[in-house]
Structure 1
Amino acid sequence: MMVRRQLPQPAELAELLRFRRPQLDARRRRLDAALTIHDLRTVARRRTPRAAFDYTDGAAEEEISLLRARRAFQQIEFHPGILRDVSDVDTTQTIFGGPSSMPFGIAPTGFTRLMQTEGELAGASAAGAAGIPFTLSTLGTSTIESVAAANPAGRNWFQLYMMRERDISYDLVERAARAGFDTLMFTVDTPVAGARLRDKRNGFSIPPQLTASTVLDALPRPWWWIDLLTTPKLEFASLTSTGGTVGQLLDSAMDPTVSPADLGAIRDMWPGHLVVKGVQTLADATMLVDHGVDGIVLSNHGGRQLDRAPVPFRLLPTVAREVGAHTEIAVDTGIMHGADIVASIALGADFTLIGRAYLYGLMAGGRAGVDRAIEILSDEIRRTMKLLGARNLGELESRHVSVLAATGDAAAASGAAAR
């Protein structure tokens, strides 16, 4: 039977020819076009000089730990339930004594204004607007007090490196408490700095120096250097009064003598929740519970310290089963999608932290880019929960997730390193 043809009707053509109003704001246009965190990474790479981008994007040595972490999330298999009313889902979580609108917060990242000049203030204000926690690093480029001012009604956490000169760390703890930060992350996975080979190959230095190669790399991205050279000096903002060069302060933050006695000293000083970040074995998780910490973060520092370290997501089910009833557990490293967060909650995590995902947004568009990263992950979480048939985070269980066997990680990592 032949389809009867006719001339198009003007009214029908009018419906087809409804054009969207053009977006004249270039930043808004590129952020609206980014549908995933990987899209934001692509924009960030295009807009940021190579050395600064690689400082964020890279990891230690052959970058096997980071590759394995992302591969582990890719090997998730979900098992959805059906015939559930999921017209509305509740994504709120109580973590470390307070609320979060989503089961993720912003992880501590050092030297953040290197990536984009708004730095931690963009992250803190975006987190506050979204109702999620923000964590400031000891090696942050905005002060404790300025972050508190940028996020006055939100939850601010402080990540602590135990400095060789202990009084420096003690002063930071006291300042964070006075500024109203409610959680302290005592970081334990940095006795020495990891070997970040991308930085060495790029001739990268902190602070960045103008060389022939950096000038050539900057030519297509003049806005980055204009921002760097016309805004306040790039430095470890909370440590400026302690003296020493940036390099000396960075070296001082890596102390191989940190011990349980230091953890006890901080516990005695800190009035809020004390969380230990950088836990990579069940034995250490159990030991910390015995020390009475309020929470742990399963983390291999985003793969930036010990390459071939355990993948936190793979360690999670065992730790959650053994100590989850006695402490709160957060997990980081490799999270690039809301489904990664949903799977982590299902396998026993109480919370997750995002680092690179937030920084890709920052590099792509400053504060608006961080907003977009949070929006993307939040939408993915809600959609994944609805498709799984889970109406709230408490309904996410291990029955919803299988993790398929990993194959070929080492070979793939070698290929990635070669590229």
Structure 2
Amino acid sequence: MPALNKITCIEDFQRIARRRVPRMFYDYMDSGSWTESTYRANEADLRALKFRQRVAVDIAQRSLRSRMLGEDVAMPVALAPTGLTGMQRADGEILAARAAERFGVPFTLSTMSICSIEDVAAHTSRPFWFQLYVMRDRDFIGRLIDRARTARCSALVVTLDLQVMGQRHKDIKNGLSTPPRPTLGNLINLGTKPQWCLDMLRTQRRSFGNIVGHARGVADMRSLASWTVEQFDPTLNWNDLAWIKERWGGKLIVKGVMDPQDARHAVDAGADALIVSNHGGRQLDGAPSSIAALPAIAQAVGDRIEVLMDGGIRSGQDILRAVALGARGVLIGRAFLYALAAAGEAGVVRALELMANELDVTMAFCGRTRIQDVDRSVLVNPAAAGAL
């Protein structure tokens, strides 16, 4: 494990993760679709936003504490749902959920996780969020929702932008499939990652825990492959949220909103929150960055729904930028995955600490003492992200 006191930024974790994780799984985490222009824009458009520094302001008493979906949080951040997290680090979803609980922010478990809902619930005491992909097999989806409720998940995150799969060139070239293809290149690469291999041998959690053994006809990784190809549902539409909301009965978040009209649909559907998200640049290449889409969406819905954002958040400064342009909070994906891959649970805690410090110090330089008081006036150029 790296000396965590020597880690000073998320990029440090990224460099270690690239060395530690097999290429096919690192590239799965760290890639976008087609030309990756949207993936790159998510970060670049955030960096283009510059802060308005203020001086001689009493900033002695500062607080990052906030609320997300009615939950008290240490700062306005949640860990985003990420598929195959348990292949970045053995038992990765459990480790990340425990780190989020220790720090005091929500964790979101993906439908396509390696550790199951029940695994994470058994190793945590704080309720977590569960992210739902809506498959053609509605009976399976209904039972998955029931399992999330039984596990005391505090919110259901319905992802709406995966009706079809975006193409990620690296996954094809690496032979990432279910199960992964044991090509000579992959085997040689695995031989250079002995600690990762040893950790994977020590755990029994190496398949999609929410699906294998739960979906009809899916008993192993090979049967899962054919099931997955058939299951993403291109007919998914806003009307489907009604039965999901009724079956779930709790707080509902919709993820993948990039247009004000869709944001208004989310309000009409009775969602408690929406996430401005382009799936980390992994779906529609050529779409705007999340931060560019955020202001118009926040303005369109006002206070009728809680607006969150993900995409490109790599620092506490990025968190402040998103809050300034209308987000109640943000979700981080790759940022915590790098830390998880590099240093496990302790790495994720350290990543959250780093981001909190960056957020606190930058907020202070902008003359603010409470995160709730941050608005677009902390930015010199609030339109620089190419806001729609």
Q: TM-score, normalised by structure 2?
A: 0.94
**Could you tell me which amino acid in structure 2 is paired with residue 178 of structure 1?**
T
**Could you tell me which amino acid in structure 2 is paired with residue 246 of structure 1?**
L
Structure 1 residue 403, shift from structure 2 partner? 4.0
Structure 1 residue 101, shift from structure 2 partner? 1.0
Q: 1:325 to 1:233 in 2, by over 3 A?
A: closer
In structure 1, C-alpha distance between the alignment counterparts of 2:234 and 2:261, rounded to whole Å: 20
Q: TM-score, normalised by structure 1?
A: 0.87
Q: 1:359 to 1:253 in 2, by over 3 A?
A: farther
Aligned to 1:307: 285
Aligned pairs for 1:12-411 (under 5 A) are 27-29=1-3, 31-152=4-125, 154-241=126-213, 242=215, 243-244=217-218, 245-401=223-379, 402-403=381-382, 405=384
In structure 2, C-alpha distance between the alignment counterparts of 1:249 and 1:294, rounded to whole Å: 31
Write the deviation string for residues 119-154 of structure 1: whole angstroms up to 9, x where unpaired: 1001100000001000001111111122122221x2
Aligned to 1:410: none
**Could you tell me which amino acid in structure 2 is paired with residue 223 of structure 1?**
Q
The answer to whether the 8 Å contact 1:77/1:404 transfers is no
Q: Which structure 2 residue ranges, 5 or more long, are not aligned?
A: none
In structure 1, C-alpha distance between the alignment counterparts of 2:335 and 2:170, rounded to whole Å: 19
The answer to whether the 8 Å contact 1:158/1:183 transfers is yes
The answer to whether the 8 Å contact 1:97/1:273 transfers is no
Write the deviation string for residues 45-97 of structure 1: whole angstroms up to 9, x where unpaired: 01112111101001111111110111001101111232222223111111112
**Could you tell me which amino acid in structure 2 is paired with residue 247 of structure 1?**
A
Superposed CA RMSD = 1.5
Q: SS of the counterpart of 2:185?
A: helix
Write the deviation string for residues 352-385 of structure 1: whole angstroms up to 9, x where unpaired: 0000001000110111111121111111111111
**Could you tell me which amino acid in structure 1 is paired with residue 28 of structure 2?**
Y
How many aligned residue pairs are there? 379
Please say which structure displays the higher CA radius of gyration: 1
Q: SS of the counterpart of 1:278?
A: strand
Write the deviation string for residues 226-277 of structure 1: whole angstroms up to 9, x where unpaired: 2223321411101122132231343244210112221100111112111100
The answer to whether the 8 Å contact 2:91/2:114 transfers is no
In structure 2, C-alpha distance between the alignment counterparts of 1:360 and 1:59, rounded to whole Å: 16
The answer to whether the 8 Å contact 1:346/1:398 transfers is yes
The runs of 4+ residues in structure 1 deviating greater than 3 Å are 403-407
Q: Which structure 1 residue ranges, 5 or more long, are not aligned?
A: 1-26, 408-419
Structure 1 residue 288, shift from structure 2 partner? 1.5
**Could you tell me which amino acid in structure 1 is paired with residue 47 of structure 2?**
Q
Write the deviation string for residues 185-237 of structure 1: whole angstroms up to 9, x where unpaired: 11100111110101111222233343211122123221112222332141110
In structure 1, C-alpha distance between the alignment counterparts of 2:169 and 2:206, rounded to whole Å: 22
The answer to whether the 8 Å contact 2:260/2:296 transfers is yes
Q: SS of the counterpart of 1:237?
A: coil
Q: Which moved more, 1:245-254 or 1:103-112?
A: 245-254
In structure 2, C-alpha distance between the alignment counterparts of 1:324 and 1:343, rounded to whole Å: 18
Q: SS of the counterpart of 1:382?
A: helix
The answer to whether the 8 Å contact 1:135/1:156 transfers is yes
